[in-house]
Amino acid sequence: MTESKCELFTVASEETVQPKKDQDAPMGFFERYVQPCLAELLGSSLFIFVGCISVIGNVGITGSIQPALAHGLALAIVIALFGEISGGHFNPAVTVCVYLVGGMELVLLVPYILMQLFGGMIGAGLAKAISPAVEFSNASGAAFTAVSSSADVGAATVAEMVMTLFLTMSVSMGAVNGRTRCQFAPFLIGLTVTANILAGGMISGACMNPARAFGPAVVANHWTFHWVYWIGPMIGAVLTVCFIRLMLGDKKTRVVFK
C-alpha cells in the first residue's frame, strides 16, 4: 500500500485491502456517468435539507452557531460518504472550479449542476414539509434574506465572493491538487463552511452555494436579490481557478512556471 500523508483514516488489514486487479478494473457507463449524478442529487438533498432545517429552527435565536455547525457537519459527512463516487461537490460553484482546475470531465459539468439544483429543491421541499407553517414563514423558508436593500448588495456580493474563494480553495487544494490533497479534505471543507457562516452570516447569509440559495428560493418563492448568490460564488470560484492554475497548483495543474 502507498503510505498516506493523513494517517487518521488510513486503517487497513488483509481483509479490507482489495486485490489490485479489482481496483484497476475499468468502470462501466453507470459507474462513470450515472452514479456520480445520483450521488450529487442525493448528497445535495441531504445537505440542503439539514441546512434549511437548522435555519428554520434558529428563528428568534441570536447568533449563527446552529446553522454554522449544521451546514459544516452535514457537508463534511456527505463529502465523506459520496466523495469517492462523485467527488462530493454539492455546489455549482465548486463544480465549475473543479472542472476548470482539471478535476472532472466536461460531459459531467452540466448534469452535476442540474442535479445539485434539483437536490436543493428536494431538500428545501422536505424542510417545508416537516416544519411548522409559522416557523417556515418567519424564516422565509431558509432562503437568504440578509440583503434587504440595494445598499447591502455590494458588501454581500464581495462577502460571497471571498467566502466562496476560501471554500473552493479548500476543495481544490485539499481534494484535487495532487501535491496537497489528503483524506482530511471532507472535514477541512466542512470546517471552512462553518467558519465562513460564523464570520459572514450577518453580512450576506454566507451561502457560498447557488444550489443552497436556489432550492429555498423556489420552495418559498423568495427571489429578492437572489442573483447575489450566483454572481458572488461564481466570481470566487473563478478567482480560485486563477490562483491554482497560475501559482499554487502542482506541475500537472499549473499553466505557467513548469
pLDDT bucket at 19, cuts 50 / 70 / 90: very low
Express each pLDDT in 191-243 by its tens digit: 999 999 999 999 999 999 999 999 999 999 999 999 999 999 999 999 999 99
Express each pLDDT in 50-77 by its tens digit: 999 999 988 767 678 999 999 999 999 9
Residue in 126, 120, 132 with CA at minimum distance from that of residue 216: 120
Letter string b/e over residues 217-250, b meaning 16 or more CB atoms within 10 A of that residue's CB: bbbbebeebbebbbebbbbbbbbbbebbbeebbe
Pick the CATH number of 31-248 from 1.20.1080.10, 3.50.50.60, 3.30.70.1350, 1.10.287.110: 1.20.1080.10
Express each pLDDT in 130-182 by its tens digit: 999 999 999 999 999 999 889 899 999 999 999 999 999 999 999 999 999 99
Nearest-angstrom CA–CA distance, 87 and 105: 12
**How high is the pLDDT of residue 13?**
39
Ordered by start, the domain boundaries in the chain are 31-248
The residues, any chain, with a CB within 8 Å of residue 108's CB and separated by 6 or more, are 33, 36, 37
Looking at the predicted structure, is the pLDDT value of residue 15 above 90?
Answer: no
